[in-house]
Structure 1
């Protein structure tokens, strides 16, 4: 069987996949989902002119010449705390005490902060006069209505992940609900009779089941819901029983299997789907992660991805194949589904496999003296594990904050089959996602 390019295998996984249904939910329930529809402001931000300081609302003409050597005394005719609906009139020579966030009286155009008056105690009783000791600029400490967003301005694009800041932005612009995509439900099934639960005593030939925890964490990091975590032994028929229980009980959109997809005599996934057209087994031109499987459990059943069993292969395979699938189902934009690699300079070299694209768990760090590490060449990269990309190095995954990609075509640059310090390679960082841009901000800094 010839090796399939990584891009072709991914295209086969995503072919025909559409985002999950949309639903309208309250903003609190939208957290962790992706917007199904763009959101525009139905309320200006701020909704009215308000004070940016505790102080006194005044008419600029009355205090323009105020200075320590020529203070200006005004008569206090009102008090406006935050949330007050009051709009006291202000005539010549008058002022209104005002708190931060309170609506600016219609007759005022400027706020003098408390510290620039003789009434600098915000908890003091309201006095009949206030003396301004320093003249403000016209319009000083006034937040203009709509200076952040006007009614109709874009707030968030479809596909945006609803984080706390995004939900706050929606609320501040008048939304109480949002149309979101349902989060994908994922069942994780680790196969292998050698696996024992974490922390249990190991017999000869047994190993801890780290893959279940690895996948559950990666599923959650991708914004999907972990619907079930199961284990199937290599015994004939056991995987079929586990899959039937998972599909009936957890109603997943996707089932992710680990192990049993290679050519071994006891590989349960191959045995379970032998002679079936439902699951396609593939050898992908990548290292680690060559054996892969993709299919569907029943005509209307969940999608199935079969990943290799070694932990580094699971990690790489999930990030390259399963994560894009889950993000597509969740309605993520294209540039989030398939992040654009950046370039980094190799700090510590490593070996390459030859003949296959290499995906190396890596430590990516900022290069000293470079301000922006998103552009080509400003970052340094090295292997997360001292032994490189060998697929069993589970403990070293904790040190990886991304992966390096070395295409097979680039592996002949050196006769020794290595990537050398000073080489430039493509890297993908595992980082927090920024909200997808919906429009330029109104102001500047």
Structure 2
């Protein structure tokens, strides 16, 4: 038995303890997480590692840059030689050497000389600064310099970006384009990564029609499978989407069984409620999968277990319920199995704008919303109906309302899960609770 908690909070009303026959969200999260084992480690070429989780720390085998080099196209000089240079009083120096990028035998720079040098080229010994070509007449044999320069200007010192032996990536980091670039710059050709989980995604329902086909009376287009396969890929997994399976137990098993040896997870949507024709529940009950009601809205009907040795997570059929359930249960489990260190969405406290919210007693509610990073204010988008997907598409966060809370007034603090921030802004104090 699970109980609603009572208490007080400014702008939030609560009700007395009420017993309900529901599984707590945290308990179902833990069961789902335990289903998936961490995938094995493999070594891949760096160009094939995008989006994977690094399986071991990476330290720099060389410094970056590996040698002192020029940050500009210009001339290597001694600062004292051009201390009096100006537009009206230019200083002329002989150009003794030409040093393009890639030349490895640049001779030392002597006093009273200049070496013409390109961006990224090895600095000759004795160089105190590089005067940009824009401050000169661009001479080849002799150069006229029109400005003085400070020592150290336009020089890139060896190791100024990464020192030899420095930790550049940690096990569990997501390999972004930038991290892959650093690895390549360090001369690393392969990286150890966790294999991406393989997920079979299945939508059920005799009412479903594949997008692109004519829509008959009483039918709807199948969206959950497409949406959840995209969510799996976004979370770093490899998704295989089965086409629509009708509400028939034998057809369900015949569609699923051939794939079981090739996947790490079977993810279904629909067919898990209390009505008739609930094909997923009918096919998997007694086969290792347990179905229950979880204390949340949307997404109360859930299932988890194993079928013929393969982990199974069953989600509701309403699209918002399915996607919210994926965020709460499936995404963290997939990321953990993939080897990632951070598996939860970042959270922050926001100020509720707009109308007061009502939440059912004893259930953790997730509402779609738009969080404004500049003001810290959040506004709910759309009604609560779990079939209203368009508001979810416009949302960049989920508002999390605890089981003990039945109403939240405007101006109150609420916890939000940040789903999307194109500008990748940091949020002070954010982090999963």
TM-score (norm 2): 0.89
Tell me if structure 2 keeps the 8 A contact 1:27–1:171.
yes
Q: How does 1:62-73 map onto structure 2 within 5 Å?
A: 62-73=81-92
Distance 1:115 1:93, change over 3 A: same
Question: Which residue in 1 is equivalent to 2:209?
Answer: 196
Question: Which residue in 1 is equivalent to 2:336?
Answer: 328
Tell me if structure 1 keeps the 8 A contact 2:271–2:280.
yes
Question: Which residue in 2 is equivalent to 1:234?
Answer: 247
TM-score (norm 1): 0.86
Give, in angstroms, the shift of residue 16 of structure 1: 6.1
Give, in angstroms, the shift of residue 81 of structure 1: 1.1
SS in 2 for 1:216: helix
Q: Gaps (5+ residues) in structure 2?
A: 1-19, 425-433
SS in 2 for 1:237: helix
Tell me if structure 1 keeps the 8 A contact 2:351–2:411.
yes
Tell me if structure 2 keeps the 8 A contact 1:60–1:139.
no
Q: Gaps (5+ residues) in structure 1?
A: 120-125, 371-377, 412-417, 436-445
Note the alpha carbon deviations across 1:247-292, whole angstroms, 9 max, x for none: 25xx11111100111222210111112333x111121100000110
Tell me if structure 2 keeps the 8 A contact 1:63–1:135.
yes
Q: Give the aligned length.
A: 404
Distance 1:145 1:93 in 2: 26
Distance 2:274 2:239 in 1: 29
Distance 2:121 2:320 in 1: 56
| 1:391 aligns with one of 386, 393, 403 | 386
SS in 2 for 1:362: strand
Tell me if structure 1 keeps the 8 A contact 2:36–2:334.
no
Question: Which residue in 1 is equivalent to 2:165?
Answer: 152
Residue 422 in 1 paired to residue 417 in 2?
no
Tell me if structure 1 keeps the 8 A contact 2:35–2:305.
no
Residue 284 in 1 paired to residue 303 in 2?
no
SS in 1 for 2:351: strand
Residue 25 in 1 paired to residue 50 in 2?
no
Question: Which residue in 2 is equivalent to 1:341?
Answer: 347
Distance 2:72 2:133 in 1: 8
Note the alpha carbon deviations across 1:341-384, whole angstroms, 9 max, x for none: 21111122343233211011222223xxx4xxxxxxx4222222
Q: How does 1:29-428 map onto structure 2 within 5 Å?
A: 29-119=48-138, 127-248=140-261, 251-276=262-287, 278-299=288-309, 302-333=310-341, 336-349=342-355, 350-366=357-373, 370=374, 378-385=375-382, 387=383, 389-411=384-406, 418-428=407-417
Between 1:130-139 and 1:226-235, the stretch displaced more is 226-235
Tell me if structure 2 keeps the 8 A contact 1:186–1:253.
yes
Coordinate RMSD, CA, aligned: 1.9
Tell me if structure 2 keeps the 8 A contact 1:60–1:138.
yes
Tell me if structure 2 keeps the 8 A contact 1:43–1:172.
no
Tell me if structure 2 keeps the 8 A contact 1:230–1:242.
no
Distance 1:186 1:434 in 2: 30
Question: Which residue in 2 is equivalent to 1:374?
Answer: none
Tell me if structure 2 keeps the 8 A contact 1:405–1:427.
yes
Distance 2:266 2:370 in 1: 30
Tell me if structure 2 keeps the 8 A contact 1:5–1:284.
yes
Give, in angstroms, the shift of residue 244 of structure 1: 0.6
Distance 1:422 1:430, change over 3 A: same
Tell me if structure 1 keeps the 8 A contact 2:235–2:331.
yes
